[in-house]
Amino acid sequence: MSGLSISKAPSKHVRVLILGAGPAGLSAALYAARADLQPLVLTGLQLGGQVSLTNTIENYPGFPEGVGGTELGELFQKQAERFGAKVELDSAQSVDLSVRPFKVPTDNGEYSAETLIVSTGANPNLLNVPGEAGLTGRGISYCATCDGWFFKDKQVVVVGGGDSALEEGLFLTRFATSVTIFHRRDSLRAGAILQKRALNHPKIKFVWNTVVTEAIGTEKLTAVKLKNVLTGEESVFLTDGLFIFIGHTPNTQIFAGQLEMENGYIKVDERMHTSVPGVFAAGEAADSHFKQVITSAGMGAAAAIEATRFLEQEVG
Ligand SMILES: Cc1cc2nc3c(=O)[nH]c(=O)nc-3n(C[C@H](O)[C@H](O)[C@H](O)COP(=O)(O)OP(=O)(O)OC[C@H]3O[C@@H](n4cnc5c(N)ncnc54)[C@H](O)[C@@H]3O)c2cc1C
């Protein structure tokens, strides 16, 4: 040992630390800021969250003509900052929730926080095939509730075989002329009632043992390339839309073993309390059902109201 001690930057203390700068985190920031708590938001790698990946959001109230995804994220941030929220480009590396104040080492330093709001979101699982990244938002979607309307009188295809694939496929029949569901196996994982409804629906057709290997199109999606997993036979299927429903992965790995979870989603009660007092969770990190901007924002507001009450009652 050289005898030299490595000095670590002292941790910065905040009353409300918010992990994530998507709709949930920035809405929590707005509410905590308006309670005069000067919250700090760590953005992670995706400023604005998943909305920044989409061109237009048409189902967030207050924007009758729709609003750009990036623009909506910027507006959320601006509104929270107006009341004193601080937003830092930094990511939590881990958390220590065994002591209060909680300890959160980050890429750029360390924070100690009296309350923590986890709004680290989730990501839709990708097919990871050529063409997918470039055509997302140009015919490829991961959300029927968000984008179904754009496919009125069009032909669409769905990938997946679980509950969400069938639920979203059935939802798409409201708009599309036909919905073809490609599934890599020859049977479905979805529940029996959903299966019956989908299998009997006149607009839905199933193609079994088949995977999509490429998304084809230049400006927008025009076709998908398919492969039969039993025979290896390849074909091209013309379509206007590709909806991918093969699950979501919540960004909650750093909370494993410290917060109660279910299938990777942080468990919260109806007031966004997690299993650790003083830690709240909001948005897709804690929501496997709705996955919308408005529901995530609502959960964020609720989490901040509860964090404010917690500080009043427990910390003073
Ligand atoms: C392509 C696409 C289109 C969509 N279209 C619509 C639509 O039209 N309408 C609609 O209502 N919904 C839409 N959605 C869904 C909507 O975007 C999500 O429901 C919403 O963004 C979830 O908000 P969130 O705040 O929970 O999480 P996210 O938006 O996922 O944000 C998570 C945040 O956490 C941060 N983060 C992650 N890990 C860390 C860490 N360790 N430390 C600090 N920060 C971290 C990320 O960087 C990010 O800022 C769409 C989603 C996608 C992918």
**What is the distance in A from the centroid of ligand 1 to the CA of 146?**
13
Quick: pLDDT tens for 108-136. 999 999 999 999 999 999 999 999 999 99
- For each of the domains in the chain, give its residue range(s) and CATH number, in order of start: 12-123+248-315 (3.50.50.60), 126-244 (3.50.50.60)
> Probe ligand 1: pick from 41, 146, 151, max atoms within 8 Å of CB?
146
- Mean pLDDT for 62-67 is 96
Q: What pLDDT score does 6 carry?
A: 45
Quick: pLDDT tens for 181-215. 999 999 998 889 999 999 999 999 999 999 999 99
> Probe ligand 1: pick from 242, 293, 295, max atoms within 8 Å of CB?
293
Whether the per-residue pLDDT at 77 is higher than 80: the answer is yes
Tell me which residues have their CB closer than 6 angstroms to ligand 1: 19-25, 42-46, 49-51, 53-54, 57, 59, 91-92, 119-122, 124, 136-137, 142-143, 146, 251, 254, 283-284, 291-294, 296
Q: What pLDDT score does 3 carry?
A: 40
pLDDT tier for residue 10 given thresholds of 50, 70 and 90:
low
Weakest mean pLDDT among 121-125, 235-239, 311-315: 311-315
Quick: pLDDT tens for 152-182. 999 999 999 999 899 999 999 999 999 999 9
- Mean pLDDT for 279-299 is 96
Percent of the chain surpassing pLDDT 90: 90
pLDDT tier for residue 9 given thresholds of 50, 70 and 90:
low
Whether the per-residue pLDDT at 100 is higher than 90: the answer is yes
Q: Which residues are catalytic?
A: 143, 146-147
| Residue minimizing CA distance to atom 53 of ligand 1 | 50
Whether the per-residue pLDDT at 4 is higher than 70: the answer is no
| Residue minimizing CA distance to atom 35 of ligand 1 | 20
Whether the per-residue pLDDT at 316 is higher than 70: the answer is no
DSSP letters spanning the chain? --SPPPPPPPPEEEEEEEE--SHHHHHHHHHHHHTT---EEE-TTSTTGGGGG-SEE-SSTT-TT-EEHHHHHHHHHHHHHHTT-EEES--B---B-SSSSEEEEBSS-EEEEEEEEE---EEEPP---TTHHHHBTTTEES-HHHHGGGGTT-EEEEE--SHHHHHHHHHHTTT-SEEEEE-SSSS--S-HHHHHHHHT-TTEEEE-SEEEEEEEESSSEEEEEEEETTT--EEEEE-SEEEE-S-EEES-GGGTTTS-EETTEEP--TT-B-SSTTEEE-GGGG-SS---HHHHHHHHHHHHHHHHHHIIIII-
